[in-house]
Structure 1
Amino acid sequence: MRWLWLLPCLAALPAHADMLVATRTLRAQTIVSPGDLTLRAGPDTGLTDPALVIGQETRVTIYAGRPLRPGDVGPPAIVERNQVVPLIYASAILRIETEARALDRAGAGETVRVLNLGSRNPVTGTVQPDGSILVEGTK
C-alpha cells in the first residue's frame, strides 16, 4: 500500500520509441536525403518513418541531434515568392486563366495566396504539379 502513490508518477513518464534525428544541421529549404537522418531511441515526440521525410523540404532549420517533428518538413516548393504563375479559376461551366504573383513559397497540393495581376485582388488557391494555381468555384 505504501507504493500506491508511485503509480501516478510512473504513468506520467513519456513513452520511448525510435524517432528520426538529424545527423547534421539542415537549413530551411533543404531537401532531406537518407544520409541526413538516423533513428535514435527517445521520447515519442517526433517522426519515426524515414520514408515520409526523405525527399521532403525542411520548413525550418533543424539542428544536428534534434528530432524531426511533423511541421518541420513538407513538399518541396515549386512556386517561389514573387514568381509570376498561371492562375486558373475553374467551375462546372466556366474556366478563366490569367496571371498572378505568388505571395509565398508553396509545394504541390499546398494552398497559397496570390495577387491576381489583372484585378489586383488577392486570392487563395491550390498549387498544381505544373506550378499553376487553381481556384475552384462552387459546383
Structure 2
Amino acid sequence: MRGLITITISSTFALIPSLAMAASVTANSTLSRGTQISSSDISVEAEAGENPQDVLSYYVGKELTRTIYSGAEIRDRDVQEPLLVTRNSPVTMIYRVGRLEISTNGRALSEGAKGDIVRVMNMDSRNAVEGRVTGAGLVEMAR
C-alpha cells in the first residue's frame, strides 16, 4: 500500500515585491553593466491600476547585471542590489565584541552587496575568513 504525501504551500507571494506587474521599464540610453540606475535612466509605462512611482522606486538605485541598450526593456533579473565589495578589492575587516572593536586590512576574495557573506583574506596573517558586508569596503567578521 502506498502512503500519502502531504504538500503544504505557504503564501510566499506576499514577500515578493509587486513586480509581477505588467509595467514596461525601458532604458533611455545605453547603460553599461554595473551602472546604478537613476530616475533619468529609465522610462516606466504602467498598466491600469499600477503606480509608476512604485515601479520607478524599485529600480532606482539598483545595479545592472548586464549592458542594456537604448530602448531595450529592463527586467527584474537584469538588476541587483549594488555591490559594496568587489573581488580583490581592499576592505576594512571589523571584529566587534561589546564595546571592543578591532579593525585590520584585508582583501576581498569574493564580491557582495550589503548583508551578503563574503570571504576575506587578512593581509597580516594571510588567513581567509568569512564576514558580512556592512558598507562600502567594510566587512564585519562573524563571531
- TM-score, with normalisation over the residues of structure 1? 0.64
Structure 1 residue corresponding to 2:137, chosen from 125, 131, 135:
131
* Letter in structure 2 aligned against 1:136: A
* Letter in structure 1 aligned against 2:103: E
Q: Extract unaligned runs of 5+ from structure 2.
A: 1-19, 48-53
The root-mean-square deviation of aligned C-alpha atoms, in Å, is 3.0
Distance 1:81 1:34 in 2: 28
Task: Say which SS state the counterpart of residue 128 (structure 1) adopts.
Answer: strand
What does residue 37 of structure 1 align with? 42
Runs (4+) of structure 1 moved beyond 6 Å? none
Structure 2 residue corresponding to 1:62, chosen from 40, 44, 68:
68
What does residue 97 of structure 1 align with? 103
Identical amino acids, percent of aligned pairs? 36
For residue 23 of structure 1, report the CA deviation from its aligned partner. Answer: 2.6
Structure 1 residue corresponding to 2:91, chosen from 82, 85, 92:
85
More off after superposition, 33-42 vs 82-91: 33-42
* Letter in structure 2 aligned against 1:32: I
Structure 2 residue corresponding to 1:19, chosen from 24, 40, 48:
24
Distance 1:71 1:126 in 2: 23
Distance 2:97 2:58 in 1: 33
Distance 1:86 1:17 in 2: 42
Are the equivalent residues in 2 in contact too, given 1:100–1:115 (CA < 8 A)? yes
For residue 125 of structure 1, report the CA deviation from its aligned partner. Answer: 1.8
Structure number with bigger Rg: 1
What does residue 72 of structure 1 align with? 78
* Letter in structure 2 aligned against 1:57: E
Are the equivalent residues in 2 in contact too, given 1:108–1:131 (CA < 8 A)? no
For residue 50 of structure 1, report the CA deviation from its aligned partner. Answer: 1.1
Distance 1:86 1:103 in 2: 13
- TM-score, with normalisation over the residues of structure 2? 0.62
Are the equivalent residues in 2 in contact too, given 1:20–1:68 (CA < 8 A)? yes
What does residue 115 of structure 2 align with? 109
